[in-house]
Every structure is written in structure tokens, then in C-alpha cells.
Structure 1
Amino acid sequence: MVGATLACALAPSNLHIALLGAHCPQPSWADDGYDIRVSAITRTSQALLQDLQIWPYIEAQRLSPYREMHVWDASGHGEVHFDSAELGEPDLGHIIENRVILKALHQRLALLDNVRLLCPVVTKKLDIGEDRTRLTLADETQIQGKLMVAADGGRSWVRQQAGMGVHGWDYDQSALVTWVKTERHHQEAAWQRFQPDGPLAFLPLTEGHSAIVWSTGHEHAKALLALDKAAFAEELATSFEDRLGKIEKIGPRAVFPLRYFETLHYVQPRLALVGDAAHMMHPLAGQGVNLGMADAASLAEVLLDAHHKHRDPGRYSVLRRYERWRRADNRAMLCSMDAFKLLFSSRSQAIRWLRNTGLNMTDRITPLKHALMQRALGG
């Protein structure tokens, strides 16, 4: 998604852009289910997608606003409720299936003459020279350019080939994802219960369905994956304190290990990293894709400025501006989410009292709650 967003942002120039993907976007799917991978798109990311003329393609498919958020601690009585109406805003953001976003991006890309889509491709070799990069594919096709941008995920092949190191670690948690239909409607609200083993989130989808992101210990995640549907539905409803009633329908389930890292460098001559190729964090706040889209918007601005000034877009001095721009914002979010993960995983009585008190105080202190909602909007 981040690479396609960058291609759309660069398209108004006369730059020649090649967008490569290991998989081609899914053009259609059955109407009786949802993608198990979803993104919480902030209003800032929505504005970017609107500027790039992508948002109408998303609206033509399906999306679900979340107007409220309910957050509570399973080990105490701490709870906070956020409501966009308190800010005079229509919503806090939207929950959108990843396949819907990808399809919309590629519908827009299909109209752009200077973007060439190559998928599916298998990469074989990367050569980074003084004045250009050369990528060799498995079929021996070679693609050359003045700049390569890696948007190929947390285990980025490009980053590894370039020898760009990372600082981080694997979490002691995996995320189980699926979608469900609940007895009671989600009220267009995002619901999150913090448990000692990790947060459990119900995110609103259309027609009363919810996307599930359940972060928990690796072995527990495997056990949940192995349960039959009836047993899983009972376990899920119980862990959620039956806030939305019985689980009436369950989609496919998958488990993904969770990681935290940031690359030591976002750029080197002829190469830039964006999105998960540059940083990954815990999904408890759903900010990963929004950071990636901000990376894409920032890099596009830097590259378009260099292009207008007839500067080489692959020069280190050009790319360093992007790195300086994004590293500070990304690091603040990465560290905040890691701190939240540690705070809500602690079984210490003192920490438990502190976080429950903090949730209740946040709910009562209106200026603080409004500031947090502004942050959730992407402001």
C-alpha cells in the first residue's frame, strides 16, 4: 500500500516510475466475507488519499467510520471513552480492509501514463552503483533507475540486500486476526480491552461485523488458531466480557508474530526505505499504515522538489532531507507504542494501579481527552 501511495504521489511529474510487487492486487472477491487484514486510517491519511484522488475509489467499495473508542483494563476498573462528537467531528477515522485500499490505489494507478506496474515478480539481485541502481528479476529482466524505494515490508529483501541494519526485537506476542459478526451492533465504535497477555480489539466493519486483532502470547495464539469455531467464539466473547454479546459468525483466522524495530538509516545513496521496510511497531494503536503513508507523502515532496530543481533524486544529500523529516516523528510514535505495550503488560500491582488511575483520570479531564482525540485524528 505504501509503495503504491508513493507512486500515485509522484505521478503528476514526468518521472518514469516502475512499481514492482510480489503479488498482484486482488481485483474482486466474494461478497460474503471480509479481508482479515484491516487498517485504521486517520483523518490525515484520508486527506492524503483524497488529494491523490484515491478516496473516491475506496468510498465506492466499502469502509466503516469509527466515531467512538472504548478502552478499558481487564485487571481493574480503569476505562476511558472517546467520542468524536465532543470535538464537533464526524468521526475519528475509518476502518478499511487492506484489499479495498489496494484495489483503490491500483484503480488510480491504471489511469497514470508514467507508472508501469510489474507483478507478480521474483527478485534475484540488487546492484547499487554510483549513479544508478539495477534490479535483476528471476527471469533475468533488468530494471534500472536513479533511485530505488523499498516498500517491501518488515522483512524487506531490498533492505537486506543493501546491508542496512536495524535496531529492535521480537515481541513475546503474536497477533491473531479475523472478522466476526456479533449479537449486538458495534455502534460504529472501536473497542479495546487491555489484558496482561496483550490487547484485544474489536474494530467496526460494515453491517455490524467487526475486525478482530487479538495480541497475545505465542502459544496462546497458536491454541486459539487450533480451536474449532464454536470454542473460539466462546473464548473470544468471554475475553471481551461479552460487551457485544455472542459471536454469531467467524471468518478465517491467521496469526502473525509481532516485532519492533527501526532501521539505523532510512536512506543511502540511490536507496530509500518507507513504511514497514523502515520501521515496525506493536499494532495496539493501529498506526503502522498511517506512518507509512506519511513516509510516502514526505518522500514524494522531497523528490518532487528535487525534480523541479533539476537535482538528482538519488543523491544522498537529497534523500537525507526525507530521513531527517520522518525519523523524529516515527521514533516518537514507535517509542510511545512500545511504552504502552510494556505498561499494559505489567503484572505489577503498583503499575496496575497507575494505569487504571490514568485511564479514569483521562476520562474525566476533558482537555487531556480532547488532546488525545486530536492525536487520533492525525493532528
Structure 2
Amino acid sequence: MNELNKIVLAYSGGLDTSVILKWLMETYQCPVVAYAADLGQGDELSEVAVKAKATGAAEVHILDLKEEFARDFIFPMFRANALYEGAYLLGTSIARPLIAKAQVEVAKKTGADAVSHGATGKGNDQVRFELTYMALAPELKIIAPWREWGLQGRADCVAYAEKHGIPVPVTQEKPYSSDRNLLHISFEGGILEDPWAEPPADMFVLTQSPQEAPNTPQYLEIDFASGDPVAVDDKKMSPFQIIDHLNKVGGEHGIGRVDLVENRYVGLKSRGVYETPGGTILRAAHHAVESLTLDREVMHLRDSLIPRYAELVYYGYWFAPERTALQALIDEAQKPVTGTARLQLYKGNVTVVGRKAPKSLYRPDLVTFEAGGDYQQADATGFIRLNALRLKIRAKLGER
């Protein structure tokens, strides 16, 4: 086995990465740096440093990346209205490139020559992490324990932890796995592997049940500038603050729950349950302002690219040239998207009830059913005839 100077592990403090930390130390006989990214997952990081040190980490680095995550990853993705397979707002997918990017920076700072992660060999995250490593620091060695060691699953990890005295609480209280950040929380595995089984009511974290949400709707207004939200109810906020605030408001009204079976990049189908309250609200508001401000053909061109853009994010190609090129087109199209959306939040639903923009393409004087305006209705006759010409020729040939 090649000698390594130091390894940086993407560490969460959970069972898997705690076992991996010890395994890396034993297997490679070198110092292991535990690195964790604060992406807005709440108090989950409160004991990470203590756990890492207790398991033998040579160093612990916990980086506050919340604002960078919102500003440089979530917002660009939302300017594209990205949605994977018509339902998934890509909360986990968009986090991995940033985690890996910062991990590479920690490796350079600490003089490490290898990076490691806890993603399994069946999932998408291994691809997302490693594509980012290779795009940003191809000289680093990549260690993927789940593809290398002899441990087969959770039971083996528990046994390994017990054997080595790893301080990781193992309970059966949550028979599924979860992953949380500023944009969402995801649930998968365990009892959720049966796609017919309804998620338990006590599983949800960010949202209360729509049935138990307030009986009175709440209204709010979101201001956008060049495609990005900048204020809520006339209060300017940072990117992180906007999403954090909308998560709380949306969660109270049961907004943003999604239960779907999706296609993983590695070829498997997987069932995931997601809570994305703030993101769901933002996407609806963004669409509303775009409806006033985007040229029709620009909008339709952008919309045709959304599935491809969403795939690039889902698959892990955030730092690939094709994603960068698409982003440039999208950001150019977003320059006129400045205005305000008014929304109603009620029992799991987000309804657009108003929109306005200083440079709106919507012209009441032209669209009105009343007389007046520059639009000459008679002009539509030639327009229709020209567009129907090929259909008339086809019909005369007896083809329909």
C-alpha cells in the first residue's frame, strides 16, 4: 500500500465516518484530519470535535460555509429553476461539491496528500465527492473505504465500533438515515426502502404536518434582483438569512414535503423523502417574477435546458465546463429578473397571488379585452395563415 503523509476525512461524527476515521488510521498508519462543513444543519455539529478527538483525529477543522453555500451554490442553482425528475430540489446534490471543495482546501492547508469520504459504493455521493476532488486537485489520492474494506453494512460497523471503543451512540430510534443542510433534510434507507410504506409521522424535522398547520393563511413578499432573492417583506437579508427565515415560515405551514422514487446516477432506483420548505417557496416566487420579466423565447430556451442542468448537479458535475457554460447563459438571462412576488402559504401549499416588476414585459394596454392599444387584431389573420400553410399543403396531399 502506498505510503501517505496525511489524510483529510469528510467527517460527520456519525457511525460510518467515526469507524472510517479509525480504519484509516489503522490501515494507512498516518495522521487523519477530521473535517466537517457547517452548511446550516443546526446543532448536529455541536459534538463533532469532541467525537473526532476521542476517536483519534490528529486535527479537527470545522468550517462555517453557510453563506457561501447559499450565495455561490444554492442561488445559482435556483436562478436555473433546477428540478431533478420533476420533483427533487437537489438539496443533497448541491451540498457535496462545496463540502469537497473545502475539503481540498483543508488538505492543501494541512499538507495532506489524500482525501477520504464516507459515501457508499451504491450511492450518488461517491461520484459527487470524487468528481470534485479530481476537478480541483487531481494530485490527491482518493480513499473510498466502502469500496475497499471488508465491512458489509451497519451491523459490521457497529461491531467494529464496539471492538475499538469508538464513542458513537447506536440506537434503533430512527430506522432510516437522514442528511440535513440549509436547503433541506433528506431521509432514506431502513423502513423507507419499501416504496409502499408511508413515512412515519414523527420522522419529519423541518415541517409540521399540513393537516396540523395553521388554519389561517400567511402572506409574504419576496424581492428579487437579477434573479436572486434580496429581501422578504421589505427586510433585506443575506442569502443564508433568507433561506433560513423561509425554512421556518414554510415549515410552520407544512410546505416542502416530497416523497419520490428517483434514478441514481449509478443505475439504481432509490426512494427518498425530502423537506425543502424555504426552497419550495423561493422557486415559486422566482417563477412569478420571471413570468413578468423574461422574454418568451429566452424563457423557453432556458426551460429546455433545465433537465440537463439538473442532471449535471445531481450527477456531481458542478465544476465541469458544461455546467459552467450553462450557468453563464442562465445568469445572462436572469439580468432582467428584478421584481416582487406575493405569496400565500396555507396547509402545505404555496400560491402566487401577485407579482410586480419595474421593467415588466406585461402590458395591460395591449392584452386587455377592451378597445384601444397598439395591437391590431386584424394582423393575426396573416400570422395564422402563414403558420397554417404547411398544414394546408399536407392536408391537400391527403396526409393528416
Task: Give the TM-score, by structure 1 length.
Answer: 0.22
Please identify which structure carries the higher helix content.
2
Please identify which structure carries the higher strand content.
1
Higher-RCO chain (CA-CA 8 Å, sequence separation at least 6): 1
